[in-house]
Chains A and B, each alone.
Chain A
Amino acid sequence: MKITINDREIEVKENITILKAAEDNDIYIPHICAHPQLTPYGGCRLCIVEVDGLRGYPTSCTTTVKDGMVIRTNTTVLSEMRQEIIQLMLSDHPSGCLICDEEEECSDNQVTIRKVGATTGCRWCPNDKDCELQKIVEYLEVNEIKFPVYYQGFRVEKEDPFFDRDYNLCIYCGRCVRICQEHRKSNVITMNQRGKLTTISPPYKMTHIEGGCEFCGACVSVCPTGSNFEKSRKWAGKPDTYNDSFCPLCDLNCDVQVLEKKKKIIGILPPGDPHQSGGDLCVKGRFCLSELVNYPERIKLPEFKFTEGYGVITNSEAIQKAADVLKDADGERVAFYLSPNLSLEELATANYFARKVLNSGNISSSVLDNNLIAMISLAQESISIEDIKSSDCIISLFVNGNYSYAPVTLEVKRAADRGVPYYQIGWFEDTTSRFSEKQIVIPPGKEKLFFRNIVKFLEKGSGASADIKELVRLIKLSPLPTFIIGHHFLDMTEGVEILQSIKRIIELTASRFFITIPYGNVSGLLSIVRAKLNSEITELCNKGKIDILYLVGDSPFQDRPPVDFIIHQSSFRPPDKLQADLIIPAAVWGEISGTYVDIHKRRKKFSAVVSPGEDILTNEEIILKISEEIGKKIMKNIPEVLEIFLPNKIERKKIKLSTPDTSFPYMLIEEKTHNFYQNVSLNTVSSGMRMILPEETLIMNPEDAYKLGLKNNESVIVESANERKIYLLLIRKIILPGFLYLITTGEGLSYESNPCPVHIRRENV
């Protein structure tokens, strides 16, 4: 249809707002609360226009175009009113610098941004020079604020991890609340009270963590002022470059943009306009990656364990030492461990070196066990995230959507909003729980039986509980049912068996499924390397059949196994007890270029954004040089077509799972931490992660804590039939009543089975 804007006739699409129509035709109408990912709000009142036939000054962001509309966007009256409105907005906002005569000279003379406790003007604001409000003020040519300053005097909120909130800068555009509610569907924050007493926070005085915040950073990304800002780059200033890349932390490999300033990575944003994209990222990619790359205790120089102790050596010395040890070694007595975070190029190099140069067939990764193999085998037929959209019903199995897999949980929530029935089976209360029609809690300890019973019911029509019947009925009524399979099967003692049942259920019901694997490039690893299981290599080590261990970014052992020499090549230090003989620093994601294979089997390339430290080489360089020292060249070969090779599973002793009883009334759910990169846990590099998902801490539901009279941070004794350990207690709603959640960092399980019935009491000191 045709409309007229400022005497210019233009052709526009139907059903768009005047604001969008103007934007599409390069006509700028100042606005703040309007946002491309959100429904129109109409709150800031800056985008007012004149429309013939409509009384008053309608807002262009809320008014849809109609055929023949005549619109004026920049009359004198409109300018005057916008001036008045922006001045009103600025009277509430510390606008010291915005209209100061000295503004230009002052910023020329100030070399760095000023870090202060309270922001009173642009020069002291984290958003300086990168601020939407500054841009609009400039456009509107504001040169005075005739209203008295009204500083609300809020305390800057710093207690929550990852981002600070200074609501003295807030202009109540509502974008943070709306992005959380409409786009991320987490509903964490709201506008409390009304009028001039309005505050933005979770309701009922909850903290962000209590309010269920995933720390996805969407609200931080869309804030037009410096109100919400990442702690990690708060005083860094405007980034120098924005670089496309993707996140290496799990197999979703979400696209991100990496912010660089003065040759350092200062932060991560979702792709798109840096101020407008709420993004679909999770806390790990959004906030932890820059902490990872900039971790102050990264290995900076090679070290060698002399008889007197560790001493710093040069890279060439380190390479020489490695070559010396390896050149005459028997390949059968050398073992390699490769991290699932290594790129295809790094993996291919290491693989060639191990197989062809050293003739070793002992290549593995600390994550390779029976459970993972079963998961990966199943994952070959996983659908894509896009495909989740078309599901008619969704059933999630042991998915913990707190702080991970945001694109997946978002699709689930969006589908549920559209009316798709969603059932959640598991132990967790996460961001999708309130969207579920039903949360099924399987009788603790009877998980394997539950799924076997479903198979039995499908095959023979008998032996089903009410829950199972309901579930099957739901699946059968849906043309396109989808299971979302979480990564807890990696840790469950009966994980492999249960996955077999699930596979059978999927076959019998002609369902589809989506699987999440928490390792960045494990598909890549298994396509490049013909690997053995971790337990195989560990057994060899324990039988004294391995002399040399070469760990590339991986950390399979907490304590030193009985080998002669350990080379630890990584960005991050090995555990102390490993007593590695040779430690070589390597470059990390962000400093290297490489290729990953994501969950959709797509190859994704990332490029280096910054260069590694002076004395730090890349993994490829190190191995190439060692090989050269030995006298062999490396032919890095990445096949065109990548096919996954799965090692054979190893038979294990069957462990009988018990169910809770009066002696051991709670079910302990253990999770060996999957939030790591190479050999360091994200909790080590990020204090924020330690706050939201602490490791080696017992997490308990408030109901259970109340019944037992336990409080936060108390020491508790968790006792099973065979084990007894002491932990600090953290009370959170993320685990359901009757279950206890423990994220461990050790080598294997801490208790005899997973899940495991336990008893818990306060430690009486």
Chain B
Amino acid sequence: MEQHRLHLLVCAGTGCVANQSFKIKEELEKEIQKKGLSDEVKVITTGCQGFCERGPIVIVKPGDIFYQQVKEKDIPLLVEEHLLKGRPVEKLMYIPSKKEPPVQKMMDIGFFKHQRLVVLKNRGRLDPENIDEYIGFGGYQALEKALSEMTPENIIDQMKISGLRGRGGAGFPTGRKWEFCKKAEDPTKYIVCNADEGDPGAFMDRSILESDPHAVIEGMIIGAYAIGAEKGFIYVRSEYPLAVKRLKIALLQAEDYGLLGENILGTRLNFSIDIIQGAGAFVCGEETALLASVEGNVGRPRPRPPYPAEKGLWGKPTNINNVETWANVPGIISRGGKWFASIGTETSKGTKIFSLVGKINNTGLVEVPMGITLREIIYDIGGGVPNKKKFKAVQTGGPSGGCLPEEMLDLPIDYDSLTKAGSIMGSGGMIVLDEDTCMVDLTRYFLKFTVEESCGKCTPCRVGTRNMVDILDKITEGRAVMEDLEKLEVLARTVKATALCGLGQTAPNPVLTTLKYFRDEFEAHILKKFCPALVCRNLIEFYVIEEKCTGCQRCVSVCPTGAITGPRSQPHNLDPDKCIKCRACYEICRFDAIAGNAIIIKSGEEE
């Protein structure tokens, strides 16, 4: 067996891959070869480390030295200094802020320190395309335990004790769901993994599939044993080619080892898994639409009851769970439901993965125990809002969720507390917004998404969401009256109450929560034609402050319509009739001009 003194783990999640991490691996290996270190240093690619803001990421083990934003040109230095001479390279390390020193070890970095990796425990420490590494880290032991020591009833008991709730967003207790399916009379049953992950900005499931696909597969096999199914499907959105590739490899490897197929591990369990790819419809994340799509029909939801546990694929009892839910199963089975229940809150057990994005310093994927507060995630892990901007709100749950303002920052994250506050947990999207985000515009963005993705079957969603967008358009364009706001609210409530499926029922959530917490912004847009965040084009005007303008002509060179004119060294003029509000002049003055503050945006002014 090979023994290397150092391992270099190069992150190969989609984000870092897009940042050339495969090239980095190649170059590292070349350089290591050049320096004659091939027998001592091994380079492997792993799944997503989660700290996507700082990719490409290279971790050196042992020692857990964390290098970020590694470029090709840094490699000779890295190999020379750290690998040969044993001196970690400071300039490649993470620096929390200008005043603080670089942080050497991964677990000392705020982003990682406060996380608790349960589902993602293998991320970044193994090659997802090698089943041996998964097994080496204790993989498939839960399956072994389940098949040799437990009955299906035992397993379902443990699932119920664990308190695991569906991670896809609805939060239905998984143990009970499995029980319903198991109790169904029809002997033919199916297991489905929902990997459609349609929320814009969400990439939790993608990460799990790219970093640790075997965790999901193991979970599904255990589920098949507990429920009594012989066939499973993983429905992955086709926009995830890397995840599909890694899944395919993982499935083949598992089959090779007798972990899938007939007589798994020598028992009477037969179970096989097929991958079905989606075709670009957000609505196919809804379970009945997903099942319709697997059957080859168009992805349109159908009324429930009957629920899939009773009548699912081809009329048979079907248990469908989210990727993250499945990935939690092996842990629960090997360490016991009680252990899982010890993490989290009274009603929400375990951990949850969030994709922390938006106006935040440390963008990336985080796994935290339930019960952690929003403040801790945003500030301790996320590093707060960049550029000295003021925090405004955090949006959770994607287009089905809501925005929570500063007052709610100490809210513990748990299914029920978020719902009570007016938002939802959703699949784990968490978008941080600062003072430069217009809440009305944000709401309109989410509603436009829903309008496009609506399947069109039921009247409230098909027509209602479109009308909501129309009203929001009116508000952002300064054409609305207060009556429109009432109309919007009544419409939102009606759509929420009467839509056929989860898409329609949660589509009005952005409207209802922003109205609850940021009603003043809506009223400002309507009554004063004022956009506080200075975003809505029809309501803002750009001005050059003559006294501050040095005439450097930076803005003149970038203005696409020639709205700004003026000779060198003379204060420039901005013609509002030609201005298309593209912000190019504003940005360039702030960041790359002499004056730095000569152009301002105003809103709500009388003509």
List A residues at the B interface (Cβ < 8 Å).
40-46, 48, 56-57, 59, 62-63, 80-81, 84-85, 88-89, 91-92, 146-148, 150, 171-172, 174, 190-191, 193-198
Q: Which 6 A/B pairs are nearest by Cβ-Cβ distance?
A: A42-B303, A195-B454, A62-B303, A198-B456, A88-B463, A84-B494
* Complex contact B498–A194 (CB within 8 A): no
* Complex contact B459–A45 (CB within 8 A): yes
- Distance A190 CA – B298 CA, assembled complex (angstroms): 10
A45-B498, A45-B500, A194-B281 known; A85 and B459 CB under 8 Å?
Answer: yes
Of B41-49, B396-404, B464-472, B549-557, the segment with at least 4 beta carbons within 8 Å of chain A is B464-472
Q: Closest chain A residue to B450 by CB distance?
A: A195
* Complex contact B460–A85 (CB within 8 A): yes
* Complex contact A84–B453 (CB within 8 A): no
Q: Does B87 contact A (CB under 8 A)?
A: no
Encode B497-528 as 1/0 by CB contact (under 8 A) with A.
Answer: 11110000100000000000000000000000
* Complex contact B463–A174 (CB within 8 A): no
- Distance A733 CA – B486 CA, assembled complex (angstroms): 56
* Complex contact B456–A172 (CB within 8 A): yes
* Complex contact A148–B470 (CB within 8 A): yes
Q: Which of B281, B455, B458 contacts A45 (CB 8 A)?
A: B458
* Complex contact B497–A57 (CB within 8 A): yes
- Distance A89 CA – B500 CA, assembled complex (angstroms): 15
- Distance A57 CA – B504 CA, assembled complex (angstroms): 14
Q: Closest chain A residue to B467 by CB distance?
A: A147
Question: Chain A residues near B454 (CB, 8 Å)?
Answer: 194-196
A42-B303, A196-B454 known; A191 and B463 CB under 8 Å?
Answer: no
A51 to chain B minimum Cβ distance, whole angstroms, is: 11
Q: Known A-B contacts: A85-B494, A88-B491, A172-B459. Give 9 more (CB < 8 A).
A: A45-B499, A46-B459, A88-B464, A146-B487, A172-B462, A194-B453, A195-B454, A195-B455, A196-B451
B205 to chain A minimum Cβ distance, whole angstroms, is: 23
Q: Does B62 contact A (CB under 8 A)?
A: no
Q: Does B86 contact A (CB under 8 A)?
A: no
- Distance A552 CA – B199 CA, assembled complex (angstroms): 74
- Distance A88 CA – B283 CA, assembled complex (angstroms): 21
Encode B427-465 as 1/0 by CB contact (under 8 A) with A.
Answer: 000000000000000000000000111111111101110
* Complex contact B458–A195 (CB within 8 A): no
Question: Chain A residues near B452 (CB, 8 Å)?
Answer: 195
- Distance A459 CA – B257 CA, assembled complex (angstroms): 58
A81-B494, A89-B459, A172-B459 known; A42 and B302 CB under 8 Å?
Answer: yes
Question: Chain A residues near B456 (CB, 8 Å)?
Answer: 172, 191, 193-198
Question: Chain A residues near B497 (CB, 8 Å)?
Answer: 56-57, 81
* Complex contact B459–A43 (CB within 8 A): yes
* Complex contact A194–B283 (CB within 8 A): yes
Q: Closest chain A residue to B306 by CB distance?
A: A64
* Complex contact A88–B303 (CB within 8 A): no
Q: Closest chain B residue to A171 by CB distance?
A: B459
Q: Does B266 contact A (CB under 8 A)?
A: no
* Complex contact A91–B463 (CB within 8 A): yes
* Complex contact B298–A84 (CB within 8 A): no
Q: Does B305 contact A (CB under 8 A)?
A: yes
* Complex contact B494–A43 (CB within 8 A): no
* Complex contact A45–B451 (CB within 8 A): no
Q: Closest chain B residue to A147 by CB distance?
A: B467
Q: Closest chain A residue to B474 by CB distance?
A: A148
Question: Chain B residues near A40 (CB, 8 Å)?
Answer: 303
* Complex contact B457–A43 (CB within 8 A): yes
- Distance A45 CA – B300 CA, assembled complex (angstroms): 15
* Complex contact A63–B459 (CB within 8 A): no
Which among A146, A147, A193, A195 has the greatest number of chain B C-beta atoms within 10 A? A195
- Distance A45 CA – B505 CA, assembled complex (angstroms): 13
Question: Can you give 14 A-B contacts (C-beta < 8 A)?
Answer: A41-B457, A45-B460, A57-B498, A62-B303, A84-B494, A88-B464, A88-B491, A92-B463, A147-B470, A172-B457, A191-B298, A194-B456, A195-B453, A195-B462
Q: Does B490 contact A (CB under 8 A)?
A: yes
* Complex contact A84–B457 (CB within 8 A): no
Q: Closest chain A residue to B494 by CB distance?
A: A84
Q: Closest chain A residue to B455 by CB distance?
A: A194
Which among A56, A57, A194 has the greatest number of chain B C-beta atoms within 10 A? A194
Encode B301-318 as 1/0 by CB contact (under 8 A) with A.
Answer: 011010000000000000
- Distance A195 CA – B451 CA, assembled complex (angstroms): 7
- Distance A198 CA – B463 CA, assembled complex (angstroms): 11
Question: Chain B residues near A48 (CB, 8 Å)?
Answer: 498
Q: Closest chain A residue to B498 by CB distance?
A: A45
A42-B458, A45-B458, A196-B456 known; A84 and B490 CB under 8 Å?
Answer: yes
Question: Chain A residues near B498 (CB, 8 Å)?
Answer: 45, 48, 57, 81, 85
- Distance A57 CA – B462 CA, assembled complex (angstroms): 18
Q: Closest chain B residue to A54 by CB distance?
A: B305
* Complex contact A43–B453 (CB within 8 A): no
Q: Closest chain A residue to B487 by CB distance?
A: A146
Question: Chain B residues near A92 (CB, 8 Å)?
Answer: 463
Question: Chain A residues near B283 (CB, 8 Å)?
Answer: 194
A88-B464, A194-B455 known; A59 and B490 CB under 8 Å?
Answer: no
- Distance A85 CA – B462 CA, assembled complex (angstroms): 11
Question: Chain B residues near A195 (CB, 8 Å)?
Answer: 451-456, 462
B475 to chain A minimum Cβ distance, whole angstroms, is: 14
B279 to chain A minimum Cβ distance, whole angstroms, is: 11
Which among B298, B454, B459, B491 has the greatest number of chain A C-beta atoms within 10 A? B459
* Complex contact B462–A198 (CB within 8 A): yes
B495 to chain A minimum Cβ distance, whole angstroms, is: 9
Q: Closest chain A residue to B496 by CB distance?
A: A56
- Distance A81 CA – B458 CA, assembled complex (angstroms): 14
A263 to chain B minimum Cβ distance, whole angstroms, is: 41
- Distance A709 CA – B295 CA, assembled complex (angstroms): 39
Q: Closest chain A residue to B484 by CB distance?
A: A146
Question: Chain A residues near B457 (CB, 8 Å)?
Answer: 41-43, 172, 174
- Distance A197 CA – B467 CA, assembled complex (angstroms): 14
Question: Chain A residues near B459 (CB, 8 Å)?
Answer: 43-46, 85, 88-89, 171-172
- Distance A45 CA – B500 CA, assembled complex (angstroms): 8
Question: Chain A residues near B455 (CB, 8 Å)?
Answer: 194-195
Q: Which of A63, A84, A198 contacts B491 (CB 8 A)?
A: A84
* Complex contact B466–A150 (CB within 8 A): yes
Q: Closest chain A residue to B281 by CB distance?
A: A194
- Distance A46 CA – B498 CA, assembled complex (angstroms): 9
- Distance A148 CA – B463 CA, assembled complex (angstroms): 11
B569 to chain A minimum Cβ distance, whole angstroms, is: 52
Question: Chain A residues near B451 (CB, 8 Å)?
Answer: 195-196
- Distance A150 CA – B466 CA, assembled complex (angstroms): 10
- Distance A193 CA – B305 CA, assembled complex (angstroms): 26
- Distance A193 CA – B457 CA, assembled complex (angstroms): 11
Question: Chain A residues near B490 (CB, 8 Å)?
Answer: 84
A173 to chain B minimum Cβ distance, whole angstroms, is: 9
B523 to chain A minimum Cβ distance, whole angstroms, is: 20
B293 to chain A minimum Cβ distance, whole angstroms, is: 12
Encode B83-117 as 1/0 by CB contact (under 8 A) with A.
Answer: 00000000000000000000000000000000000
- Distance A246 CA – B302 CA, assembled complex (angstroms): 39
- Distance A148 CA – B487 CA, assembled complex (angstroms): 12
Q: Closest chain A residue to B486 by CB distance?
A: A146
Question: Chain A residues near B298 (CB, 8 Å)?
Answer: 190-191
Question: Chain B residues near A193 (CB, 8 Å)?
Answer: 456
Q: Closest chain B residue to A196 by CB distance?
A: B466
Q: Closest chain A residue to B452 by CB distance?
A: A195
- Distance A62 CA – B307 CA, assembled complex (angstroms): 12
- Distance A48 CA – B497 CA, assembled complex (angstroms): 10
Question: Chain A residues near B453 (CB, 8 Å)?
Answer: 194-195
* Complex contact A63–B460 (CB within 8 A): no
- Distance A59 CA – B498 CA, assembled complex (angstroms): 9
- Distance A150 CA – B494 CA, assembled complex (angstroms): 20
- Distance A190 CA – B297 CA, assembled complex (angstroms): 11
* Complex contact A196–B494 (CB within 8 A): no
Question: Chain B residues near A85 (CB, 8 Å)?
Answer: 459-460, 494, 498
Encode B469-489 as 1/0 by CB contact (under 8 A) with A.
Answer: 010000000000000000100
- Distance A174 CA – B303 CA, assembled complex (angstroms): 15
